[in-house]
Amino acid sequence: MQTKDYLDRYYGGYDEDSRLEPKHGRVEFITTMRYINKYLHPGMRVLEIGAGTGRYSHALARDGYEVDAVELLERNIEVFKNNTQPGEPVKITQGDARELINYTDSTYDVTLLLGPMYHLFTREDQEKALAEAVRVTKPGGVIFTAYCMGDPSIIGFGFIKGNIRQLMDKGMLDMETFTPRSDPWDIFQLYRKEHIDSLREMLPVEQIHFIAADGFTEHMRETVDAMDDETYELYLRYHLTICERQDMVGWSHHTLDVFRKK
């Protein structure tokens, strides 16, 4: 099977549209939107590559920004369209993050690459997606790229849930460095910060932020979901205060690399 076939099968049985709705999921959404809004101004154009079912695209369109969205999977596009409200300035097309053939150079003020790097398993494909995101962004524009981090999964899925030997037997860990390895049938590509840094360093960009999008939240999701509103707001304040501390980012399941096109 091709990578798209594995993704079709996975997302066909997974409710991606509600992933960011629980309190623990909202931490990632709130953090990401907070940083996106730092760089948006009226009249700016936004492109979301790998838009999924459109949580970010719809939120930004409803705030008045003109949003173009690209998504690979037909099922996600259908949900995206069903979630579009009358008059929303948003348009979605099917496309591949590695080859944005319908999009011209230097068009967008803000470009979001919040999903594709989760599912690209070769260095060549990762470089292509990043290069395309930079290509379609205006000089001085800002690109937001999301990654799934490896060590939180090794701790959570491997040790806490008792699957570490399964990961070893499947060859998903380098047994000297414990660097994770993934294939398309594993669905998610897992990264370490040095890998992310090496990808960015090849681009004509300057880094602005490297953010723990959900911080320690996924390690304590039941606790976060059970918080009363006052405690949850306090937790959000704490998280947003520490989310750029580089001694903390490696434990976040999701990170956000933010950089400006030169």
Please report which confidence band the pLDDT of residue 106 belongs to, taking 50, 70 and 90 as the band edges.
Answer: very high
pLDDT at 83: 95
Q: Of 35-39, 131-135, 164-168, give the lowest mean pLDDT range.
A: 164-168
Task: List, for residues 202-235, the tens digit of each pLDDT value.
Answer: 999 999 999 999 999 999 999 999 999 999 999 9
Please report which confidence band the pLDDT of residue 13 belongs to, taking 50, 70 and 90 as the band edges.
Answer: confident
| CA nearest to 28, candidates 239, 231, 238 | 239
pLDDT at 12: 87
pLDDT at 25: 95
In whole angstroms, how large is the CA radius of gyration of the chain?
18
Parallel, antiparallel or unpaired: strands 90-94 and 45-49:
unpaired
| CA nearest to 147, candidates 175, 110, 180 | 180
pLDDT at 14: 86
Using CA atoms, how far apart are residues 121 and 148, in angstroms rounded to an integer? 12
pLDDT at 179: 94
Q: Is 59's pLDDT higher than 80? A: yes
Provide φ and ψ at 104, rounded to 5°: -90, 165
pLDDT at 218: 94
Cα dihedral: 150, 152, 157, 162 (round 10): 110
Q: Is 53's pLDDT higher than 80? A: yes
Are the C-beta atoms of residues 108 and 46 closer than 8 Å to each other? yes
Using CA atoms, how far apart are residues 182 and 146, in angstroms rounded to an integer? 17
Task: List, for residues 123-151, the tens digit of each pLDDT value.
Answer: 999 999 999 999 999 999 999 999 999 99
How many CB atoms within 10 Å of residue 2?
8
pLDDT at 17: 77
Task: List, for residues 73-92, the tens digit of each pLDDT value.
Answer: 999 999 999 999 999 999 99
Secondary structure in 3-state letters for 70-87: EECCHHHHHHHHHCCCCC
How many CB atoms within 10 Å of residue 4?
14
**Mean of per-residue pLDDT scores for the chain:** 96
- Quote the tokens at residue 76: 């996600």
pLDDT at 201: 95
**Residue range 250-260: average pLDDT?**
96
